[in-house]
Amino acid sequence: MPNLKIDEIHRDAMQEITNVAMGQAGDKLARLLDTFVILSIPHIDIMRPSDIVMALQAVDSRDSVSGVCQGFIGGGISGEAMLLFNDTSFTDLAKLMNYDDELDQQAERELLMDATNVLFGACLNGIAEQIDVSFSFGPPLVLGQHRKFSEIFNTENAKWENALVTEINYQLENYDVNCDLLIIMTEESLDLLFKKLDYLLEA
């Protein structure tokens, strides 16, 4: 369905919902790390896998990234969340989480998972609550560590052709910690999602 589009009314509604959810996630991260979290305005659009790669070329221009993804499903809506950390984040992240041991690959994986659990849980549950569904989560999966984004996100492995993609950037004030959170909702979920947004708009 190449002509699949999101209209401005639904985009604005989704942006409002995402702002609330990412604010909750940012607040949890700020409390966990005791520092100020800087949030971007969420970018929301219908995308193909190749569009995501193009949109995140800025990420790809960094030396390398580390990524985690986690599937979610509930109330007829499904998709996956993906978190991409710039690789300079780990030293500062370890400091903020009071992690004193040697920062080897396993330690980085643990830090990645801890940050992921906070952001995915708070953000996705915040969205679910507002559209009155309950998400179940699959196990988080490390996509790769210290690799080019194009290697981590292989368009040929994507299980979808079109999806509603919400991109949010999180940065920590005074620290070199920068990550992109992508929330990808499948094409099959969009009719129901848009109906729920219509209901919220009418209410």
Strands (DSSP E) contained in 95-177 are 136-137, 141-147, 163-172
User: Residue 14: its pLDDT value, please?
Assistant: 94
User: Residue 58: its pLDDT value, please?
Assistant: 58
The answer to whether 101 touches 111, Cβ cutoff 8 Å, is no
> Closest Cα to residue 18, out of 198, 182, 140?
182
Compute the CA torsion angle 44, 49, 55, 57 (nearest 10 deg): 150
* pLDDT tens, position by position, 184-200: 999 999 999 999 999 98
> Closest Cα to residue 176, out of 90, 68, 69, 55?
90
User: Residue 1: its pLDDT value, please?
Assistant: 44
Given pLDDT bands bounded at 50, 70 and 90, which one contains residue 138? Answer: very high
Total residues found in the chain within this entry: 203
* pLDDT tens, position by position, 56-106: 765 556 668 888 999 999 999 999 999 888 876 788 888 888 877 778 888
- Which three-class secondary structure state does DSSP give residue 96? helix
User: Residue 61: its pLDDT value, please?
Assistant: 62
User: Residue 155: its pLDDT value, please?
Assistant: 73
Q: What is the pTM of this model?
A: 0.88
Ranking 147-151, 156-160, 161-165 by mean pLDDT, the lowest is: 156-160
The answer to whether 109 touches 140, Cβ cutoff 8 Å, is no
Domains of the chain and any CATH numbers: 8-202 (3.40.1550.10)
Is the pLDDT at 146 greater than 80? The verdict is: yes
Per-residue tokens: 38: 């800087």
User: Residue 2: its pLDDT value, please?
Assistant: 47
User: Residue 60: its pLDDT value, please?
Assistant: 55
Adjacent-strand bridge partners of 70: 81
**Residues in CB range of 137: below 8 A, 6 or more apart:** 70, 71, 72, 120, 121, 124
